[in-house]
Amino acid sequence: MAQIGIHGMVGLAVRKWVPERTWLMLGIVLGSLVPDLDNLAVAVATITRHSTEGLHRTLTHSLVFVLFILIIFYLISKATSSKLWQNLGLGLGLGVLMHILLDLLIWFNGVELFWPFPAWINMWTNSTPPEIWMKLMDPAEMLCLTLFYFMLDVTARKRKTDMEYLRTLRVWMGIEAVLFVVLTILAFTLGKIYYTINGAVYLFSIVLSICIIIRMRKTIEAA
């Protein structure tokens, strides 16, 4: 998986190519993060001492998942006679596709694109990144989230939206920056327990980011 902050920033960056449909951009940015919620299943399996095999970068990183989202939100739209749900579903589907593409381009483990068929696609099969780089990838999650929140802050000030929330956003931005520094230090000083700490922080951060995206939907959707 590429850093969720990178996914979020890419989701925001496509705004100028997206038609103005209510909830469409919101869906794209949310969908850019949603696939990595499969780490919650990994966490539960780890805590309960079950196998984590097949839980990450499989179902939620597949074309089946995209199709499922489109169908479900289309049916909700028809049932409620509201085009908004179809816009949201389309945005989520596009966001998930963007997430998958980024993971294929800039991550080293590949995805099971055609799940449930066991066909992993990894464009970096013959590449072995330096060990120090792999150590820094985890704490870099927090750095990328800091940049994502900064991008939201700049966008909100430019569009004059969600101004009353910016102080809170900057607090979270500062917390993520501090976490980046702390986790970088811990990555080189702790043993296996570091991965437990990092995992807990990561899961909290991705859920927090989804909440912030929903809270700042006016900024995300503003032209």
Q: What is the pLDDT along the chain (223 residues), one digit of tens a residue?
A: 458 999 999 999 999 899 999 999 999 999 999 999 998 888 888 888 888 887 788 999 999 999 999 999 999 999 999 999 999 999 999 999 999 999 998 877 788 999 988 888 888 777 777 778 778 888 999 999 999 999 999 999 999 999 999 999 999 999 999 999 999 999 989 888 988 899 999 999 999 999 999 999 999 998 6
Nearest to 27 by CA among 82, 95, 80: 95
DSSP, collapsed to helix, strand or coil, labels residue 121 as: strand
Q: Write down the pTM of the prediction.
A: 0.93
DSSP, collapsed to helix, strand or coil, labels residue 51 as: coil
Whether residue 120 contacts residue 28, with contact meaning beta carbons closer than 8 Å, is answered with no
Q: Any idea how long the chain is?
A: 223
